[in-house]
């Protein structure tokens, strides 16, 4: 993974899009020495969202199995610490 400052990322943005989109690179953007964002491919984003959906589905199934009564989304989120 490549790391660069936000100001450099701003200057090189078209090149970064090509590197991420076609080269499948991942770029970590820092501001004042701290990571603030990542530029990833659409494929990586879709994979991440699919994993999040799978985790949410598993959590909901587990809540249904463990609870004989009514369960709210808020209760599930609170249990997960969100």
Instruction: Provide the terminal-to-terminal Cα distance of the chain, rounded to the nearest Å.
Output: 29
Question: How much is the pTM?
Answer: 0.64
Residues 11-69: tens digit of each pLDDT: 999 999 999 999 999 999 999 999 999 999 999 999 999 988 888 887 777 777 777 66
Question: 3-class DSSP state for residue 45?
Answer: helix
Class of domain 2-40: alpha beta
Check pLDDT > 90 for residue 4: yes
Instruction: Tell me which residue has tokens 């990833």.
Output: 40
């Amino acid at each position: 993974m490549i790391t660069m400052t936000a100001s450099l990322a701003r200057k090189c943005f078209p090149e970064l899009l090509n590197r991420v989109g076609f080269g499948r690179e991942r770029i970590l953007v820092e501001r004042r020495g701290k990571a603030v964002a990542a530029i990833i491919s659409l494929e990586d984003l879709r994979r991440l969202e699919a994993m999040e959906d799978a985790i949410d589905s598993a959590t909901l199934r587990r809540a249904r199995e463990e609870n004989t009564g009514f369960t709210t989304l808020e209760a599930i989120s609170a249990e997960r610490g969100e």
